[in-house]
Amino acid sequence: MRFADLIQLALDNLRRNRTRSLLTLIGVMIGVAALLSLMSYGAGVQFNAEREFNSYELYNSLRITSSPSIFGRFSDFATASPDLESENDDRPSVPLTDSLIATFANIDGVLAAYPEVIFPAKLKASGKSLPVQVIAIPMAFGDIPAYHPVTGNFFSAPTDTALMMAPSMARRLGYEDPETLVGQTITLETISLHINGLIRAAPAIATGLTSIPLIHHNNKVTVAGLLPEDDQPISGLVRVILPIDFAQQMQKITFFSTVDLMMRDGNAKGYMAALVQLSHPDAFPGVRQQLEDQGLFVTSFRDQFAQAERIFLIMDLALGVIGFIALLVATVGIANTMMMNVMERTREIGVMKAIGGDERDLQRLFLVESGILGVVGGVLGLGLGWGITRLVQFGVNMYLHQHGVPNLEIFHIPLWLIVAILSTALFVSLLAGILPARRAARIEPIAALRSA
């Protein structure tokens, strides 16, 4: 029997039991829609992380410390080289001084080398206050597209009392048109420890301080420019960029929590860490080797992201399993529908075999019927899942827009995901039709005709 004839006959048979076929299709639709929604959410999380990672060119960044850090151990685990820590722990500590960091910049393939300066602060303007993470960058970062302002200008000098921010932060400060904030002077509040207050509170340290004596510093800064936010929608909510020399001169604390403080090496001399930005990816192995040859501990952001990708994979598998369970429930419905069709068409099957019908054609017929249920239900389910994700996406982005936050792609539906889900739906539907098809092929013509 020709395949076209099998398709036509299968469609006619399914139309004879429209209600049952429709209910089975609905079950497949729901299963596929659930699978698409869950898998696209996991893909969206990974898509946003990769977008920000690539935008800031973190794959070209190295973090250098005088002693092993928790980030270094994390990276070593990610690269399956846990023995690196045991080899390096006995190395003498090399203080990260300004003069040493300056030598890093002379290594071939290095765009910039600078101390890691990151600290918490508050941004104040138009009567509003936002907690922010201040990150200091060198002037060489003017060559990186992520730091090219869409409005305004990059820093003119490393001592500029200026900052750059994302337009979303300007909107959260109450500026409906973020461009109007460029060139204005706003307040960046930092805090430092009150040494005299700590001395006076020394007797209470043994029993535990209820508060830490702090000094608040209101620094007047000019908004030099607004950074692009299309590829940095998440980090743009909290990041404020300052020139390196100005940031180093500010009075501040550089830890974000007691956990952060406890994880630091109190005996370390010089800076806690330095950062090296490569001019091109090919320089990575050579620069890393030269830094490690100086007795320094080097952490690669690309190694850390490799471990993050493993976490994404585990999350995708977990979400996929949950969605696949819903699809399996629909598969049971297909199997039940096909089995009922076999029982109801016993006489018809007997007649087909009595006039010379091939058993293989019978098996193909029922497999084609189940395949049609899987493919049609899969296509409709993809449409339903797409509609659900777009509706949720629209609602979330409306809420974010009301709070000045840029749109986020919560659900990401790449082509490979559509093909994979549709293929899975076809596979499980054919799997569900195997047993009914074999049962139909084994029916004896005489017994079938007598049962009528």
Confidence of residue 342 (pLDDT cuts 50, 70, 90): confident
DSSP string, 215-277: EEEEEEEEEEEE---SS-TTGGGTEEEEEHHHHHHS-----SSHHHHHTS-TT--B-S-EEEE
- Asked whether residue 255 carries a pLDDT value surpassing 70, the answer given is no
Distance CA 138, CA 157 (A): 9
Distance CA 233, CA 407 (A): 7
Identify the weakest region by mean pLDDT among 62-76, 162-176, 336-350: 62-76
Other CB atoms closer than 10 Å to residue 451's CB: what's the count?
10
Strand order in the sheet with 61-65: 110-115, 274-278, 61-65, 297-300
Do residues 119 and 253 lie in contact, with contact meaning Cβ atoms separated by under 8 Å? yes
Rounded to an integer, the average pLDDT of 99-106 is 92
Confidence of residue 256 (pLDDT cuts 50, 70, 90): low
- Asked whether residue 259 carries a pLDDT value surpassing 90, the answer given is no
- Asked whether residue 226 carries a pLDDT value surpassing 90, the answer given is yes
Q: What is the DSSP letter of 407?
A: P
Per-residue pLDDT of 284-324, as tens digits, reads 999 999 999 998 999 888 777 777 778 888 888 888 888 88
Assign 3-class secondary structure to 292-323.
Answer: HHCCCEEEEHHHHHHHHHHHHHHHHHHHHHHH
Cβ neighbours of residue 308 under 8 Å, at least 6 residues apart? 49
Per-residue pLDDT of 53-101, as tens digits, reads 888 888 889 999 887 765 554 444 444 444 444 444 566 678 889 999 9
Per-residue pLDDT of 8-58, as tens digits, reads 877 877 788 888 888 888 989 999 999 999 999 989 888 888 888 888 888
Distance CA 161, CA 383 (A): 53
Supply 158's token pair.
Answer: 């490393």
Do residues 448 and 349 lie in contact, with contact meaning Cβ atoms separated by under 8 Å? yes
Identify the weakest region by mean pLDDT among 6-20, 47-61, 234-248, 352-366: 352-366
